Amino acid sequence: MKSRKLIVLISILTFYSGVLPVSISAQTLRSSYFLEGSTYRHQLNPAFMGERNYISIPALGNINLETTSNVGLSDFVYKYNDPTGKYDLTTFMSSSVDRTEFLGKLKTNNQINTNIGLTLFSTGFYGLGGFNTIDVGVKSNTSFNLPYELFNFMKTGMDQEVYHIKDFSANSNNYLEIALGHAHKVNDNLTIGAKLKLLIGATNVDAKIDQMDIALTGDKWEIMANGTLNTAIAKGYYKTKIDNPGEISGFDYDSPGIAGLGGAVDLGITYQLGDHLTLSAAALDLGYISWSKNLKGATRNNEPFIFDGFSNIAIDPAEGDPNSVDKQFDNIKDDLEDMTRFYDEGTSRRSTKLTSTVNLGAEYKFPFYDRLSLGLLATTHINKPYTWNEATVAASISPLKWFDATVNYSYSDFGPNLGWMVNFHPKGFTFFVGSDRMITEVTPQYIPVGNMNANLCLGFNITFGRKR
């Protein structure tokens, strides 16, 4: 039953555990980068100024949900031409799935990311010689990394003797962000902007098998693995087992609170080159959070687990004979479980860098119809081992003064994506909805077939003041 669960877990369920909070910093739609009427463009580049003053409807101003992955259901679940006709699908572990085909679909680091960004309150207004913004929002980022070598081991087996599995990890970062921004037009061509952010940490979990070395031969199976577990949560503590002091069995906290404090800055610049071309650049979330009480956990594997066979197997064992196969098998299971046991290593302060993002953009407005533009956006998301890059080409149109829209095509480490956004911004309010990552194919259960890249962002805001 355990193995069945494992397969299902790896093949499907774990893959879709993306409801957990995650690591790429949820900003707002990158599709809005070239839509001048978009309210929250300043979250992508603090040098962007708003069309009007605005204030968000609490908790509804900007809601952004996103999942990304560079692998998908179709990489793990395959169509199956079952001779018995009983099954239509099978898993990647089936002998009917070619190893080269399966492994060829995988990346060195197979990532699954989930991001939630919720703006609790935001306002933007002109003053102080520029455009000012105040944001209060919650960000939650969770990432899993399943290294290629793990699946290579599962699929290739003993056709390869040694495996080095690195960065088998999970990370979750959850915090409240208070940001003060100012964009200032230096001259007709140049605008700069910056944000200062106060970060109030809620929880941070970082679990990692730094390296797992597996060597399998007919003579010996050898496994060495070590990992760390860091958990930052206010008034939190690890629960440990009574029968094995120090072994972590879970964690709990006495009451919610502030687990860490941090700060960050966003920097941005735009430069209009001629009448039709605008260049822009931004570096976001340059900062860190210091977690005041980080619960440290780690494995304690000083020596590798080595199985070179059972010793002195009792052929006709008496009950409880330590040399019986059953007893020795139990011991091996215990030894293997020891490899995965994390122990409470006390507490310490710990700082985590924010996932920083660099956006480089260029927008060209067509001379024959200046409400139509073509934009190029390069985004780099820096967060080892979850770093990813994306290039986007976007066509944007503003046919009406109160409406604009964009479609874009991007290619990233998560594969190709189609994005879009519609933005209604008449006088008095704005409403936008869009997606940077459209799901193009789903199962009848509405689970993406390909890479699980999905995103939805929408928001309602009140605008006021004259249009700039």
φ, ψ of residue 282 to 5 degrees: the values are: -150, 145
Q: How far apart are CA 315 and CA 326, in angstroms?
A: 12
- Per-residue binding letters, 29-68, with other proteins (x by CB under 8 A): ----------------------------------------
Q: Per the structure block, which two tokens stand in for 221? A: 């199976």
Question: Does the protein bind other proteins through residue 276 (CB under 8 A)?
Answer: no
Pick one of 14, 123, 156, 290: the residue that binds other proteins (CB under 8 A): 156
Q: With CB under 8 A as the rule, give the number of residues binding other proteins.
A: 70
- The single residue listed with the structure tokens 């577990």 is 229
Question: Does the protein bind other proteins through residue 100 (CB under 8 A)?
Answer: no
Pick one of 9, 180, 186, 220: the residue that binds other proteins (CB under 8 A): 220
Q: Per the structure block, which two tokens stand in for 78? A: 């395959």
Residue 421, CB-side half-sphere exposure with 13 Å CA sphere: 38
> Using omega within 30 degrees of 0 as the cis cutoff, is the peptide bond preceding 245 cis?
no
Angle at 346 (CA atoms; ends 339, 115), nearest 5 degrees: 75
Cβ-in-10-Å burial (0-12, 13-18, 19+) of 188 comes to: exposed
Residue 403, CB-side half-sphere exposure with 13 Å CA sphere: 3
Angle at 42 (CA atoms; ends 365, 267), nearest 5 degrees: 105
Q: Which among 32-40, 256-264, 314-322, 381-389 is the span making contact with other proteins, rule CB under 8 A?
A: 314-322
Q: Per the structure block, which two tokens stand in for 103? A: 């492994």
Q: Which among 56-64, 151-159, 239-247, 343-351 is the span making contact with other proteins, rule CB under 8 A?
A: 151-159
The smaller minimum CB distance to other proteins, of residues 369 and 464, is found at: 369
Q: Which among 231-239, 273-281, 308-316, 381-389 is the span making contact with other proteins, rule CB under 8 A?
A: 308-316
Angle at 390 (CA atoms; ends 389, 396), nearest 5 degrees: 155
Contact in structure between 34 and 421 (CB atoms under 8 Å): no
The smaller minimum CB distance to other proteins, of residues 309 and 320, is found at: 309
Kindly state the smallest distance separating residue 48's Cβ from other proteins, in Å. 21
Length of the chain: 468
Q: Which among 142-150, 236-244, 350-358, 399-407 is the span making contact with other proteins, rule CB under 8 A?
A: 399-407
Kindly state the smallest distance separating residue 89's Cβ from other proteins, in Å. 5
Kindly state the smallest distance separating residue 79's Cβ from other proteins, in Å. 6
Question: Does the protein bind other proteins through residue 318 (CB under 8 A)?
Answer: no
Question: Does the protein bind other proteins through residue 312 (CB under 8 A)?
Answer: yes
The smaller minimum CB distance to other proteins, of residues 104 and 446, is found at: 446
**Torsional sign, CA 15, 16, 20, 22:** positive
Question: Does the protein bind other proteins through residue 326 (CB under 8 A)?
Answer: no
* Residues at the site binding other proteins, with contacts judged by CB under 8 A: 1, 3-4, 7-8, 12, 73-74, 77, 79-80, 82, 86-91, 93-95, 99, 154-160, 216-221, 307-316, 323, 369, 371-372, 395, 397, 399, 405-407, 418, 420, 422, 435, 438-447, 449
